[in-house]
Amino acid sequence: MLKYEKISKVIPLFQPGDRVLVEYTSNVPISRILWQSITRHILDDETVIIFDFYGIGDITFRNYLRSAVGEEYKKLIESKKSVYIFKIGPGGASYGETVGQEKVYTDAESFLKAYYSMIHRALSLPRKPRYAVVFGLSEYLYFTGASGLFNLLNVVSTIPIEDWVTVVPLNIDAIDERQRAILEEISSWVIRITEEGCRIIKGGNECDDTER
């Protein structure tokens, strides 16, 4: 796991308003990477909101929880009080407090209304989050195709969010190259995780440096 620890060193460089695309392939230990190197690092000091399509966040959390032991397990359980969850579609939410729930919409108008409702609620939370994590976007795009990508672009351009950093894990084996290219285009940072380790594709000083 040491080859993935570089991700946590990049997190302090993110600024509110940044969209951080974390691309990964299906053969990496993504549950551990997401909850040990990314989400847990954020939760050390910050409140986090999570938009969870299909309960993917809950699945990855439970996968990692089964392997966590000792102090790490304790910290993971304690961190649940700092997580606000917006559920989108079916699935569990055992890793925090559910503060909103929406259906999975495929038409643009309903998707935009649901997104606006969640954002409005998130901005009204008693503890202001500095980070948001979107779980399950790969699955949403897989099931909805071009219409799902349009819905995403529509909400990003219509309701820009400058209040927090948005981190989006993306399984690049589940979507096509054109979808991936568009998501990279609208992202401030692109971090790619493979079996070899992690690379910064976009962001920071625009340097592809696996050693930093």
Q: Pick the range with the lowest mean pLDDT from 1-5, 116-120, 142-146.
A: 1-5
Amino acid identity at 162? E
Q: Do β-strands 83-88 and 48-53 pair in parallel, antiparallel, or remain unpaired?
A: parallel
- pLDDT number for residue 74: 87
Per-residue pLDDT band at 55 (split at 50, 70, 90): very high
Residues 15 and 162: beta-carbon distance below 8 Å = no
Domain ranges of the chain: 2-202
* pTM of the model as a whole: 0.91
CATH architecture, domain defined by 2-202: 3-Layer(aba) Sandwich (3.40)
Measured CA to CA, the distance from residue 54 to residue 137 in angstroms comes to 9
Q: Is the pLDDT of residue 5 over 50?
A: yes
The secondary structure of 166-205, three-state, reads EEEEEECCCCCHHHHHHHHHCCCEEEEEECCEEEEEECCC
Higher model confidence: residue 112 or residue 38?
Answer: 112
Span between the terminal Cα atoms of the chain, in Å = 16
**Per-residue pLDDT tens digits for 9-49:** 888 899 999 999 999 999 999 998 998 878 877 777 678 99
Q: Is the pLDDT of residue 209 over 50?
A: no
